[in-house]
Amino acid sequence: MNREELKQILPHREPMLLIDEAELQGENLAVGKYTVKGDEWFLQGHFPGMPIVPGVIQCEMMGQTCCALLGEKVKGKKTLFTGMDKVRFKQQVVPGDTITFECEMTGSRGPFYFAKGKGFVNGKLAVSAELSFALL
């Protein structure tokens, strides 16, 4: 799915649509990608002369990839984080990097969904987390 196709599912819009593309691989794995251009709003002031993608933005990118996995279940709903556990940042993500997320659902209960994900830059782990969110 490209950005326009993602907009058919996700409620996010620019500047908060934070994945460029996503694809489903099997029933329980979504792979999302984002290329950091350098002019993004979240890099302004983080940090002058040394821009680094904030960790919370990386978690949002991962969460949007998870929502792409749910497809039509997300359509027309608000997706709200309810938790982030075991979040680890292993390397900086900077302009020019393409971060690739691999996300899988680990369970659900009512409107709540549980997932785990990892983000890689050049094949090296940059971020990992367990996420939970609600569809309302």
The catalytic residues are 46
Residue 124 near residue 70 (C-beta atoms within 8 A):
no
| Interatomic CA distance for residues 8 and 95, integer angstroms | 28
Give the single-character DSSP code of 43: G
Count CB atoms within 10 A of the CB of residue 46. 14
Q: Is the peptide bond before 47 cis (omega within 30 degrees of 0)?
A: yes
Could you tell me which of 100, 101, 66, 96 has the C-alpha nearest to residue 83?
66
